[in-house]
Amino acid sequence: VQLQAFGGGLVQAGGFLRLSCEVSRDIFSFNTMGWYRQAPGKQRELVATISSGGTTSYADSVKGRSTISGDNAKNTVYLQMSSLKPEDTAVYYCNADDRVFLDYEGTPVEYSGMNYWGKGTLVTVSR
């Protein structure tokens, strides 16, 4: 599986961006598709996910100003963000997860599938 992210660049604070992730497989064949980001000196963090059923979730830091969506015909997942802040500056990564977990005495254990990552795209938000 290959994932290719597009749409990064330099954006002014308060601006808008749309990132695209092209996937080499039906996007809704994965349990979830998502966007993560990693700022300089920080750990990678979740931004948003969308499940195969279309359920979305967002990090608190982007909730209300971000939308994740998928176009199955184009095998592409999008992330739209508005009211950008300098703290949104990061490398944004696309993720596709088709792992299956089994419950073992209350603990999820990875049973099958894989977690796929694309190369990131840099988003820089200037003040």
Q: What is the pLDDT of residue 70?
A: 96
How many other C-beta atoms lie within 10 A of the C-beta of residue 41? 5
Non-local (6+) Cβ contacts of 29 within 8 A are: 52, 98
DSSP string, 32-54: EEEEEEE-TTS--EEEEEEETT-
pLDDT in single tens digits along all 127 residues of the chain: 999 999 999 999 999 999 999 999 999 899 999 999 999 999 999 999 999 999 999 999 999 999 999 999 999 999 999 999 999 999 999 999 998 888 899 999 888 889 999 999 999 999 9
Helix (H, G, I), strand (E, B), or coil: what is residue 27? helix
Please name the residue ranges forming H helices in the chain.
none
Q: What is the pLDDT of residue 100?
A: 87
CA 19 – CA 114 distance, rounded (Å):
23
